[in-house]
Structure 1
């Protein structure tokens, strides 16, 4: 890829972050004025009402960035299949954002949210945002022909949107995890020669990391379901069109590895709820961040530990992809995780 094209990715990141930094205070003001706040309860950690519409800023920043690089010609020369995938992720992101925003404003029923998410996911599948291969340990790849890929794709897209929403329980947690995952996807998709998918990752990374200016502990605003659904779907969509389209076993595995933290957290919570006879959709305090808080770790250290964990699995994905110096990045991330883990252990010992 010509060196000048990397400038488009930098522009996408910078524009998205700038729009988020500028617009978030405006969204906060309007949210407070109109009473769109998330009130404390027994399950939640915050102690005062917080505006829950910050996802509007993340969405606006990402869309503005993609619109600008599109006008600059960043998407010129794509094949019809690639254009369909990019358009599918863009339209699907809008759909998931609107579902989440409607829930933030009107408190939709869980079943209605799920059905709408499945409908949007099925729609973007028809546009080319699809999981075409599955990697089976010790058995290579399974080709998902035709309609067989539909349920797998819907589960992937809807599942990731909800996984990011489920970890949005502490100040800066979902935004930071999504931002780190988006940066890793940006690097890996560029290495895999998927610059169009990388542009979406760059725009999302800028929006998510820019939002941390107002969302990191102590948070001034929450992203709400609109932001969480949008980021989760977009990350899943980039993985589908940028990595899983190849028949290489390593590439097929990469999106699941990059997003392993929210995937494992959601899966373990669902299993725990079902095994105890509860509904898998019943909100409780079984998530990793809840367990760390219960052990006596501060909010900030809990969030930083999960950041380090996300960066670690992301570095493993970079090493697994064959990225130059990927092993060195993985080693550095391992050392960072070990240090933060030591701080966590020390904090627990002091409390006990």
Structure 2
């Protein structure tokens, strides 16, 4: 076990504590100010809900990192790694503010996309860069800066929006983010990337703690601010902690760990284009919408997607070469099979 592992535990616990304490405060402030999301249309909730839970997730994550920094936890990191940590955190702050502004003032999609691209570009200049791609039968290929920049921006912006798009049911995005964060934490520690591991330890604690108030029936939503922050942070950690490792396995790991939101967004975009509609026009084509339509209840739909996220995470553990990683993958496969069987059984009983 790495000698600095206690700092990651502290980051996780501080994030949990801050989110548990701050979320009710944020909720009350949102109710008093009238900042609520009304039901109707494609929305699943039946009553007005505060959409500012991302404030708590952001505060919990950043507070945890600041506490570790004040305790000297960053002293175990090389200077360039400490710089990368703050690069991801500051980029996450920018994406959080974009989402918060949308939650409060309803920005247009084009304005949000432009701002995201600008701040993702700034993150690239700060060192959050995809320098390699894995090409089938050709191994790793180094990227020139003019290629690295658009690919990195697409990854950072795409993941921020992928988490936002999957945030359609109570507890769904927070649970998926928490599971993905824990898998990334294990993989980053195994690959001797303590800086990246610190970020996901804090983010995982904040995401899981938020489920106390966000799991069905939810008391508060994370909103665009929380979803953009989580998505950018996971994508950023994938870059500084895994993609920068010059091995084919490491380069592929972030895409495996985050496969559920990535594939959900990709399938929805392709389906909308094939139907002759705008790829950015909201509808009910997401995986969680399809599972609900198939007859699964709200909670079971969320749990099935949790199981799917855990399964792809277990594949990443096995692929990374972690001891017993294959055993984890087998257990996760059995869990996913059981969840799918229960879901099919329930859907048939409802039909």
Q: Same fold (TM over 0.5)?
A: yes
| Superposed structure 1 runs of 4+ greater than 4 Å apart | none
Write the mapping of 1:1-352 to structure 2, written as runs, cut at 5 A: 2-3=2-3, 5-352=4-351
Distance 2:25 2:339 in 1: 35
Distance 1:284 1:60 in 2: 31
Query: How far is 1:274 from its partner?
Result: 0.4
Contact 1:81 1:128 in 2 (8 A): no
Gaps in structure 2 of 5+ consecutive residues: none
Normalising to structure 1: TM-score of the pair?
0.98
Query: How far is 1:135 from its partner?
Result: 1.0
Gaps in structure 1 of 5+ consecutive residues: none
Distance 1:302 1:245 in 2: 35
Distance 1:79 1:188 in 2: 19
Secondary structure, aligned partner of 1:76: helix
Query: How far is 1:81 from its partner?
Result: 2.9
Encode CA deviations 1:63-83: one digit per residue, 9 max, x unaligned.
000000011111115334323
Distance 1:76 1:284 in 2: 48
Encode CA deviations 1:280-331: one digit per residue, 9 max, x unaligned.
0000000000000001100000000000000000000000000011111111
Distance 1:65 1:318 in 2: 26
May I ask how many residue pairs the two structures share in their alignment?
351
Normalising to structure 2: TM-score of the pair?
0.99
Contact 1:92 1:121 in 2 (8 A): yes
Distance 2:254 2:71 in 1: 28
Distance 1:295 1:217 in 2: 19
Encode CA deviations 1:257-276: one digit per residue, 9 max, x unaligned.
00000000000000000010
Distance 1:84 1:293 in 2: 44
Contact 2:121 2:149 in 1 (8 A): yes
Query: Cα RMSD (Å) of the superposition?
Result: 0.9
Encode CA deviations 1:10-39: one digit per residue, 9 max, x unaligned.
000000011000110000000000011111
Distance 2:157 2:64 in 1: 24
